[in-house]
Chain A
Amino acid sequence: MSDVLRVNPIACDGHGLCAEIVPELIELDEWGYPIISGKPVPARLEKHAKRAVAACPALALQLVRTGPVT
């Protein structure tokens, strides 16, 4: 079981707060929209990832639980 960050691109307005909070997982493109690494969020960054989700003014960012990895 692991979490990945996922953005709803329709809701996202490119505020960019997420990339400030977890630059390890999110970078911004030249227009300020997030490019999210599809990799599972490592345990050491989980708290930051959750903060980024909570900080998104557009409610566009989610932590999505992916199925058990075997």
Chain B
Amino acid sequence: MSVAHDERGTRVAAPAGLPRLLAGVRADGRPVTLEAHLRRYGPLPETRGRQSRSAFLGAVAASGLQGRGGAGFPTARKLEAVDAQRGTPVVVVNGVEGEPPSSKDKVLLAYLPHLVLDGAVLAASALGAREAIVAVGRTAHAAVADAIAERRRAHVAHGVTVRVVHAPERFVAGEETAVVSFLNGGPAKPTFTPPRPYERGVGGAPTLVQNPETLAHLALIARFGPSWFRAVGTRDEPGSVLVTLSGAVRRPGVLEVAIGTPLHELVAQAGGATAELSAFLIGGYFGSWLPAADALAAPLSNAGLAPLKGSLGARAIVALPAASCGLLETARITRYLAAESAGQCGPCVHGLAAISEDMVQIARRNDVAGARRVIERRLGQLEGRGACRHPDGTVRFVASALRVFAREVELHAVHGRCSGQAKQPVLPLPARRPDALR
């Protein structure tokens, strides 16, 4: 199953090695056309009809693909959960990538829209859904709309109507219940569960919400099979992943690597570090800080990062130079995360505001010992107390800063000094005024 066939029956070889997803990216930065896409990967396999449907679902299960949105849930189980519900399902492509250090989904949707749309159509067709909705922020909206029109003209519909919806690109707006709420005409804010979207989502229908990268992998698994997919990655975390690497590296950007690749290889692919590094933030703003030496040697997989209390999360990685103060960086982002609370849950509203002020005190060397005492207690109380994981993710991020930058905390507390020399912050914040949640 590692060859696909194009319209004329010509065999299209499975992509050998890496990159798989990013192989088609054009040098001129324009989206890949449908024609070029089909020439590279071959036509979209059929997934409607009992036999082709079960072949597809079987291939997804055998591939071991895990969702690439951050939670890492097995894709086959998500498909099965939607499939087990009554009623005609809906497929949602969650292209709302509101996490400032992450741009891999925007890159996929803007440069390789057909790979993502293929996956959406395959999944929709297999589940008997008639509609797939692509929720996307402003960056990739035009590319997706053009790609949908291109497919309509070429009649590659597979019985699925695809449409694009412009959604607010805010941090919490990408949470799957927030996307569903927005598509249902409500605010782009998380909702209390159950029901989860797979039970009752868009228009009350069972809804498969998938990350664009997950769907792009599906498009290739359907063509080239699970063994091809598993040829890279680890046994428990198979395949390749897109990583957004930024901070003190020569060529920041989106890279595709096999899961399990040591971080130092990724940094080398990005042209190496531009300064002496003290730490890496791995997994975006719900992720963890890791000391640079440990992180560089670690394999980029959840199993590889677990002993260091890290995880891949959204696979946004930032390299922090030694001349920057990790506490100041963390305080800035914590204040942003507190401001990004949807404002619905008391523990999130009050708790994140409080730990963000504690972090600012620690970073500014203002009664560090006092702030240290209260922040520990507060961090211990917030987990699991919001409707979504916003408080949990923030707690994880802040706790990792206090752990990894413990010596810097001492320096601030005892000596009133700070090792930060850098004038420019490293961790990115959104450049423009945020979209309204509705």
Show the binding face of A for B, using Cβ within 8 Å: 8-14, 29-33, 35, 38
Contact = CB atoms under 8 A, between A and B. Distances in A.
B381 interface: yes
Given A8-B387, A9-B387, A33 B192 contact: no
Contact of A29 (B381, B384, B386): B381
Contacts of A29: 347, 350-351, 381
Nearest to A29: B381
Contacts of A12: 345-346
Contacts of B346: 9, 12-14, 31-33
B401 to A, nearest CB: 22
Given A29-B381, A35-B381, A9 B386 contact: yes
Nearest to B194: A64
Nearest to A11: B192
A33 B385 contact: yes
Nearest to B346: A33
5 contacts: A9-B385, A12-B346, A29-B350, A31-B347, A33-B347
Interface string B315-354: 0000000000000000000000000000011111011001
Q: Classify the interface of chain A: helix, strand, loop or mixed.
A: loop
Contacts of B63: none
B350 A10 contact: no
Contact of A10 (B191, B351, B384): B191
Interface residues of B, number: 15
Given A29-B381, A33-B385, A35-B381, A9 B347 contact: yes
Nearest to B342: A10
A9 B345 contact: yes
Contacts of B192: 8-11
Given A29-B347, A29-B351, A31-B346, A10 B381 contact: no
A8 B385 CA distance: 9
B350 A31 contact: yes
A24 B346 CA distance: 22
Contacts of A13: 346
A9 B344 CA distance: 8
Interface string B351-390: 1001000000000000000000000000001001111000
Interface centre among B346, B350, B386, B387 (most CB of A within 10 A): B346
A35 B385 contact: yes
B350 A33 contact: yes
Given A12-B345, A31-B346, A33-B346, 10 more contacts: A9-B344, A9-B347, A9-B385, A11-B192, A12-B346, A29-B350, A29-B351, A32-B346, A33-B350, A38-B384
